[in-house]
Amino acid sequence: MDKLERINSVQMTMLFLFFMTGSSIVIIPAPLTNVAGNGGWIALLIALAMGMLLLACVLYLFRRFPEQSMIEYSRLLIGRAATALLFIPFTCVMFWHVAGIVIEIGLFFKSTMLKETPTYAVNSLLFATIALTVRAGIEAIARMVAVLLVLMFGFIILVCVLVGNLYHPEYLLPLMPEGIGPVLNAAYIAYGFPYSELVAFAMILPCVWTKDKPSVSKHLFLGLAINGATLILSIVCSIMVLGPLSGDLKYSLYQLSRLIFIQEIIERIESVIGFSLIVGFYFKASILLHILMRTVTQLLGLKDERILVFPVSFVCLLLSITTYTNEASMEELVNLTWPLINNLAYVGPLLLMTGVALFRRRIAK
């Protein structure tokens, strides 16, 4: 299956854009403005710069090993035993990572639209959909992505335009009333979610058609820039509308959509926008589950990954309903522990491999 599944560079970029923007567009503005106040967008710029550096590392290794995934070139660079040692925590964290996205969807539904529905029912239906999507393969996911990407970004822009009458640009000042500390703290949060997560994407980059490989770097950097611009737009818009409250209200974009009121014609459209935002969560979880399947099968040297999609999804589903089930503990994890865990499990192996690859190249010269 892996040998046949190929997508082009633009499709890979759209997957990347969904992966980076999908859940963060709903979640990230609130914690950033909560911690850094009006400096939230500066924190995002710092995190984006860190993300660019990580992407540069991923793409450097991709250029060196264009037909191999992260696990395959890790075996070439540091050997089989060290690879197994590095990728066991990587895989464990990724199991929870898929679950974590669905926990966020469950919490979003619970606090906004489906207040009486048990979280396990919501999560089960989502995981059934995600598992079926992943079983269809990356080509099918890539074919779906264009329409849904336009839908999601279209609604984001629509919300920002329709609340235009509520903008108060004066809310954007003062920029950093408490100094640089809170901004760095917020940058740490945004670096952990979503920017350090992009390392996982190194597992599926070899899926790009060989003729498209030279343009992948340019496209992915463009995708990351669009992601940064969209997140900054949503942070700035939520500050301009909600002012000091923007840090206290979760799901800023959804909160903005609740305020839309145009001549009694367009109002109470938050459910439509909420569901379009859910598409982002769904796609991110699907892409990540696909990456997880690839990681598990390559790590264990298996050939058929489709047969394992349902049990792996089942494990992720059960993790999503047995870990961090309340909002406060989940928020604490995302804002405090997740960036560190990501650094150890995802970024650490990437930096090690980049270092070894650079060292070997210098020795070869």
Partner 1 sequence: MFGKLVCLLALAAGMLIADLPKLGGTGRGERLLYGALCVVVLYLAVIFVTDAPLPNLDMLFDRFQRPAELLVRRLNPAQS
**Chain residues that interact with partner 1, rule: CB under 8 A:** 35, 92, 95-96, 118, 120-121, 124, 128, 178-179, 181-182, 184-185, 188, 296, 300-304, 307-308, 310-312, 314-315, 317-319, 321-324, 329, 332-333, 336-337, 339-341, 344
Q: Given the complex with partner 1, which of 248 and 332 has the nearer CB atom?
A: 332
> Across-strand partners of 261?
267
Min separation Cβ 103 and partner 1, Å = 10
Q: Are 119 and 106 in contact (CB under 8 A)?
A: yes
Min separation Cβ 332 and partner 1, Å = 8
Distance CA 228, CA 25 (A): 10
Q: Are 18 and 283 in contact (CB under 8 A)?
A: yes
Min separation Cβ 18 and partner 1, Å = 25
Min separation Cβ 20 and partner 1, Å = 22
Min separation Cβ 265 and partner 1, Å = 41
Distance CA 351, CA 356 (A): 9
Min separation Cβ 177 and partner 1, Å = 11
SS3 assignment, position 123: helix
For 262, other C-beta atoms within 10 Å of its C-beta total 12
- Give the E-state strand segments of the chain in sequence order: 261-262, 266-267
Q: Given the complex with partner 1, which of 4 and 364 has the nearer CB atom?
A: 4
Q: Give the burial string for 278-298 (b: 16+ CB within 10 Å, else e).
A: bbbbbbbbbbbbbbbbbbbbb
Show the CA angle centred on residue 56, arms to residues 152 and 73, nearest 5°: 105
Q: Given the complex with partner 1, which of 49 and 222 has the nearer CB atom?
A: 49
For 95, other C-beta atoms within 10 Å of its C-beta total 17
Q: Given the complex with partner 1, which of 8 and 185 has the nearer CB atom?
A: 185
Q: Given the complex with partner 1, which of 157 and 307 has the nearer CB atom?
A: 307
> Across-strand partners of 267?
261
What are the two backbone dihedrals, phi and then psi, of residue 293, each rounded to the nearest 5 degrees? Answer: -60, -45
Q: Given the complex with partner 1, which of 271 and 329 has the nearer CB atom?
A: 329
Min separation Cβ 290 and partner 1, Å = 17
Distance CA 316, CA 133 (A): 15
114 CB burial (10 A radius; 0-12, 13-18, 19+): middle
Q: Given the complex with partner 1, which of 210 and 322 has the nearer CB atom?
A: 322
Q: Which residue has the tokens 């960036």?
A: 339
Min separation Cβ 248 and partner 1, Å = 17
Q: Given the complex with partner 1, which of 163 and 317 has the nearer CB atom?
A: 317
Q: Given the complex with partner 1, which of 140 and 336 has the nearer CB atom?
A: 336
User: Torsion angle, CA of 49/50/52/56, rounded to 10 degrees?
Assistant: 140
Min separation Cβ 321 and partner 1, Å = 6
Distance CA 36, CA 30 (A): 10
